[in-house]
Structure 1
């Protein structure tokens, strides 16, 4: 049975020479919550950008292997076409329109998919139920809100596009532990209650393994270990390298 997203022996490079990935293989089944673990510079971001065909914009390209979304090679479609097909990325860095309000930012996610008033209203209801503080701050200028609120808004804007596969890069970066816990609990709830498929790249391995169902470890551009998240969390090498010597 074909996976919703499949990486098959994928290698990638920047500027034709700088190797970033070397033979990475990974399957994300429909309905899964998959975590991609690894240190900074391991290749996680490159892998996620490759899935959305964003590498060419950064002078990067896939040099070997294949990535398929719903059985189709991802390089055959533009990033915009992928979003319209349901592969929606939330890139690292809380990329919002800083001068717009929180709600205006959210609405752009639905408009980008071509949704009308009904789609916008349904999306806002979902996002505000998931992140109540965004409803309280909906009229606030996004650039004047906290880092946690901006990250929630970035995730919310992605959800407004009604993804089939939601791809997030380092959602915990720079955030307080309580905010990180709130965001991952919301993602787990989405997966559990709606069946949304998630692929999340995350340096905070403890929180990722606590909430995800499956995980893959990336080291130096290679996939080195993969399996159920609970089993990986119990392995001594994972505890020592990523969890500070104790299980999450």
Structure 2
């Protein structure tokens, strides 16, 4: 299987959209790896899985799916046909029967983590100052402005329903542990990565390295693509 025949599908997490993968997409394209950002509505876990599957339907050939943060739960429930590997980027990986909230709140949050609460519509927005304080503290002021401006709220229905049997039980996985993460405790990331027996890479990056350390994210996705393509 040629490396160029494997497509990287990138799923954004809560409070983000596909533009959060922009620098990773260009880095992968420079290495001859096709990349596609899958838009998720963040309205329910089931809705997000369905949206991811619709993106997969538009792509021919084998795929490696990368998920950031909340999207780790989504990529693990993707339709398994043609999915050759999963890459977790500071991502949540609930076991079958666990809720996203169970793993997110497994340990005491970082002191600078934002206090999260749903609005009257059952949607959770990230406070604007949280982008610089916790979501991407290593990003530039310009990036903080963009991230805050394009943020997508996440519904309670995404994080309060039990997950199904995860695909990481059946395909190879890679996990980038973000040592400077203030949103998902690094110890929780390591717990999930070790539980799924992932290929682990631990880096001194913040919660959103697709923005602040895109080369590192592209590297781990490239390694997954290379492993499944035999190149």
Q: Which is higher, the Rg of structure 1 or of structure 2?
A: 1
- Which TM class, normalised by the smaller chain length? 0.3 to 0.5
Q: Which one has the bigger strand percentage?
A: 1
TM-score normalised by structure 2 residue count: 0.33
